[in-house]
Amino acid sequence: MTRPPAHTEQTAMHPTISYYLATARAAELRSQAQRGALARAARHARTHKLEYAAPRLAAAGRRLLTSLRPAAPAQPPASPPRQPSGAAARR
């Protein structure tokens, strides 16, 4: 059994095929980069979830409670009615 002769010269690739191969490779690199960015964001969110969110949530809660609190009255409240004393209260 004889081996086929080895190629000693390169065959040039058609420019259209070369263009589509380069385009496909660029698309694959973009999708890998996007997957990597999503993975990094998810990892960051898991590790830093409450470290930064808790102070902001507490401040937002305080602002909400402050906005829901009724406004301070312009005048102090009237004193409570006095209880009758003496003979009128015993009747």
Query: In this predicted model, what pLDDT tens digit does every residue of 44-68 receive, in sequence order?
Result: 877 766 666 666 777 777 777 777 7
Helix residue spans in the chain (DSSP H)? 15-47, 49-68, 87-90
Cα distance between residue 37 and residue 30, in whole Å: 10
- Best-predicted range by mean pLDDT (1-10, 19-28, 43-52, 63-72): 19-28
The tally of CA atoms less than 13 A away on the side-chain side of residue 86 is 2
- Quote the pTM value: 0.40
Cα distance between residue 29 and residue 51, in whole Å: 33
Q: What is the pLDDT of residue 77?
A: 62
